[in-house]
Structure formats: C-alpha cells, structure tokens
Amino acid sequence: MNFELSEEHLAVRDAARDFAHSELLPGVIERDSEAKFPKEQIKQMGELGFMGMMVDPKYNGGGMDTLSYVLAMEELSKIDASASVSMSVNNSLVCWGLEKYGTEDQKEKYLKRLATGEILGAFCLSEPEAGSDATSQRTEAKLEGDHYILNGTKNWITNGGTASVYLVIAQTDSSLGHKGISAFIVEKGWDGFVIGKKEDKLGIRGSDTHSLMFTDVKVPAENRIGDEGFGFRFAMETLNGGRIGIAAQALGIAAGAYEFSLAYSKERKAFGKPISQHQAIQFKLADMATTIEAARLLVYKAAILKDQGKDYAHASAMAKLYASQVAMDVTVEAVQVHGGYGYVKEYHVERLMRDAKITQIYEGTSEIQKIVISRGILK
Ligand code: CAA
C-alpha cells in the first residue's frame, strides 16, 4: 500500500488549489450572499478541463482517473462548494452516464460539448414525492411512434436553470415497477419544458437549484439512454460514482474549514498567547485533522476501487456517509474556534458550515448510504 500521490496527481491538486485561491476565493462571500451562480468561474473551470475530467479525450475530455477528479473536487470545495457541486454533477452524473451508456450519436451530439464545459448538464431523478424512494417515479414517458411524450415534475435539480442538457428519469411502464423506468436526454427550450423557480437555500447558495416541469414534451426515441426499463439501474449506477464526487466535496468543505481555523488560531491571541497554544483549541484541531484524514482515506479508496474496475458502490456510500458527517462536525467546530468571528460572513467558516449540511442530503441522505452499505454487508 502506497500513500504517496504521483507527480501527475500532485499537479492536478496544485492546479485546482491555485485556481480556487486565485479565481474562486475573491467574490465567494458575495456570490453566497446574493445566491449568484458562479457563471464566469464555471466557464474558466471548463477551459481548464475540470468539467469533463474523466471523459475519454476522443470526446474532448481530460482522460484522467477518478482520483484526479476527487483531488480537484476537494481543493475547489475548500473554497466554493457551489462551484464544485456544478462540476460534480456535470462530471459524475451527466458525462459519466452518457459516456458509459450513450450511443455514439449521443456522445457526438452532447458529450463532446459537456466535457469541455461549453454547455452544462443536469441529472433529473428526484420528484416532489420521489426523493429517497426513487422507484416511485411519477414522471411518465409514453412512446408514440418515433418519439416519447414526457409529462411530470422534477425537484431539487442542480444546474436546473443553467444547464442545456438534462438526463431525465421517467416511467415508461408503471406496471413493471423499477424495471419500467427509463432514462432520456432532454434539451432546454423544447416545447412544454418549463424551468421553475430557483430555490432559496441554506447553503451552496451560489448553485443553481430548480424544479422542472414537463408538459407533453416531445422527446425523440433516439434520445433514450439504453433500453426501455434500464433507467433505474442507470440512475443507481450513476449515483454510485456521483457519491464519490459528493464525498470529495464534503472532505473539501471539512478541510477548508480546518485550514481557515488553523491559520486563525495562530494569529488570534487570547490570555497573552495565540489561541493555538491553548489546549482547548489544540484538542479541537487534533480531532479535526484526525477525522478529516480518515474521511480522506475512505474517499480516495472509493476512487481507486473505481479506477481499478472493482465494485465501488459500497465504498462510495461509506465515503459519503462518513465524509459528510465529518464536514458537519468539523465546520461546527471551526465556527467555535473562531468564536464570534466565526459567526460572521467575512471569515468563511459560517458559509462552510451551511454548505456542509447538504452533503448529508443530496445524492442520497445519510440514511440511504446506510441502506446501500448494509445491503453490501449482508448480500
Ligand atoms: N447500484 C446498482 N444497482 C442498484 C443499487 C446500487 N447502488 N441500488 C439498487 N440497485 C438495483 C438493484 O440491484 C435492483 O435491481 P434488480 O431488480 O435488477 O436486482 C434495483 O436497483 C432495485 O433495487 P431495490 O429493490 O434495492 O430498490 P429500493 O426501492 O429498495 O431502493 C435505494 C433502493 C438504494 C433506496 C434507491 O432508491 C436510492 O438510492 N435512493 C436514493 C436516491 C438518490 O440518491 N437520489 C438523489 C437524487 S440525485 C441528486 O441529488 C443530484 C443532484 O442534483 C446533486
């Protein structure tokens, strides 16, 4: 077992770190405050290759491994989790699924532009009454000749307003349960496709979350991904990888809050010395560093298993479950280390604390991760 990162991995990590500090940090507080999508920054991330990192270069991707993606996610999330969730959805939930299961025509038409960040993608599974219970899809797609007629509502869609391409999961035969669910590529602007209001959220406020309404939207049959009935497995497999991205995001949020706290504790003086020299603060820093390192090992392990072509569903759920708990615990402690300064926007940690919570909810709540883990243990 080798715990050293390769030169290539270190270069990816450093490039992401430099970008986060030079381009994401200035303005992150204002974007959070105004719930403003980091449009310019996402464009730059596309130019630097962060939006399709694992896609084969023949489809304009970076051809990198999952570990590189995780390292970049971690660094960007230390500063701006709103930008990193957009990147995570585009990479793991949209590009990955299209590359693995899309037709050549679909890859030519959509993947090539998604992988460069020229356009953004969204993944549409959740519904008003189908969140954790993803088999209860109400959105319907009925085959009529050479196209499907799509009707329904999707909720909590990341990149909902800014995406151009939407992977939509819908029932094609409700009598078959999860085996009657299919996946489709839907384009923004098609008749009957309406983007609902932007959600006003606790955290990741710069990210663009919407509900979507489909009324008699005509979707060409050639835009179905895989066979009819493959949609649920498609969604589950996609989420197995997506959870590695969100675990890396949670790890980055925790590590960012820790780094801000460490620096602050060396500068801030109380009772005649820097607070880092008080044991009360040292114990907090030690707990933060230890749990972050444990989360990092779980996240990297899940990424490496995926890169080795091994089963990673169980490992990605463990990584997400643990890293998201660490993100919550560490960010709460980071605010405590900062005292009153931690409670105001200027010092970043209150934002990271608000951002941390969503990592325990999206791409499957912590309870869903426990279901996936226990099924892996018991099978
Ligand atoms: N990987 C691969 N296949 C899986 C799977 C996994 N992790 N979990 C289930 N499956 C397969 C099963 O093998 C089964 O297939 P077969 O019948 O062919 O054997 C099929 O899916 C149905 O499985 P279950 O009977 O276990 O289904 P279930 O109804 O009990 O629920 C669940 C399974 C794990 C709870 C699932 O519903 C789930 O993951 N729910 C959470 C959904 C979720 O994560 N939503 C997030 C939305 S996306 C998002 O947040 C993106 C964003 O914008 C940031």
168: left (phi over 0), alpha (psi -120 to 50) or beta: beta
What does residue 187 show for φ and ψ, rounded to 5 degrees?
Answer: -100, 145
Nearest CA to ligand 1 atom 14: 233
d(CA 237, ligand 1 centre) in Å? 8
Angle at 6 between CA 327 and CA 319, to 5 degrees: 25
Task: Count CA atoms within 13 Å of residue 309 on its CB side.
Answer: 0
* Top mutation candidate among 178, 204, 208, 316 for ligand 1, by most atoms within 8 Å of CB: 178
Nearest CA to ligand 1 atom 52: 158
pLDDT value, residue 1 = 84
d(CA 249, ligand 1 centre) in Å? 21
Regarding the beta carbon of 239 and ligand 1, being less than 6 Å apart is answered yes
pLDDT value, residue 379 = 83
pLDDT value, residue 3 = 92
* Top mutation candidate among 101, 158, 168, 233 for ligand 1, by most atoms within 8 Å of CB: 233
d(CA 46, ligand 1 centre) in Å? 30
Regarding the beta carbon of 363 and ligand 1, being less than 6 Å apart is answered yes
Query: Which residue reads 């939207």 in tokens?
Result: 217
What's the sign of the alpha-carbon dihedral 117, 120, 85, 170?
A: negative
**Which residues on neighbouring strands pair with residue 169, listed in sequence order?**
183
Angle at 365 between CA 362 and CA 367, to 5 degrees: 170
27 CB burial (10 A radius; 0-12, 13-18, 19+): middle
Q: Which atom of ligand 1 is nearest to the CA of 157?
A: 53
pLDDT value, residue 79 = 98
- Rg from Cα positions in the chain: 21
Regarding the beta carbon of 313 and ligand 1, being less than 6 Å apart is answered yes
Nearest CA to ligand 1 atom 4: 236
Whose CA is closest to 150, among 218, 69, 212?
Answer: 218
pLDDT in tens, the chain (379 residues): 889 999 999 999 999 999 999 999 999 999 999 999 999 999 999 999 999 999 999 999 999 999 999 999 999 999 999 999 999 999 999 999 999 999 999 999 999 999 999 999 999 999 998 989 989 999 999 999 999 999 999 999 999 999 999 999 999 999 999 999 999 999 999 999 999 989 999 999 999 999 999 999 999 999 999 999 999 999 999 999 999 999 999 999 999 999 999 999 999 999 999 999 999 999 999 999 999 999 999 999 999 999 999 999 999 999 999 999 999 999 999 999 999 999 999 999 999 999 999 999 999 999 999 999 999 899 8
Regarding the beta carbon of 288 and ligand 1, being less than 6 Å apart is answered no
pLDDT value, residue 260 = 98
Specify the pTM.
Answer: 0.97
Regarding the beta carbon of 371 and ligand 1, being less than 6 Å apart is answered yes
pLDDT value, residue 143 = 98
377 CB burial (10 A radius; 0-12, 13-18, 19+): exposed
Regarding the beta carbon of 223 and ligand 1, being less than 6 Å apart is answered no
Residue environment code for 48-86, b if the CB has 16+ CB neighbours within 10 A, otherwise e:
bbbbbbbbeeebbbbebbbbbbbbbbbbbbbbbbbbbbb
Angle at 161 between CA 160 and CA 163, to 5 degrees: 70
Residue 347 CA to residue 281 CA, distance in Å, equals 17
Regarding the beta carbon of 312 and ligand 1, being less than 6 Å apart is answered no
d(CA 101, ligand 1 centre) in Å? 17
Lookup: tokens for 262: 């460490």
d(CA 288, ligand 1 centre) in Å? 32
Whose CA is closest to 74, among 124, 123, 5?
Answer: 5
Nearest CA to ligand 1 atom 43: 364
CB atoms within 10 A of CB 174: 11
What does residue 209 show for φ and ψ, rounded to 5 degrees?
Answer: -110, 125
Regarding the beta carbon of 362 and ligand 1, being less than 6 Å apart is answered yes
* Top mutation candidate among 90, 238, 239, 379 for ligand 1, by most atoms within 8 Å of CB: 239
d(CA 134, ligand 1 centre) in Å? 7
**Which residues on neighbouring strands pair with residue 214, listed in sequence order?**
152, 193
Q: Tell me the catalytic residues.
A: 363
pLDDT value, residue 2 = 87
Lookup: tokens for 335: 């605010």
d(CA 246, ligand 1 centre) in Å? 16
Residue 98 CA to residue 92 CA, distance in Å, equals 10
d(CA 284, ligand 1 centre) in Å? 37
Regarding the beta carbon of 193 and ligand 1, being less than 6 Å apart is answered no
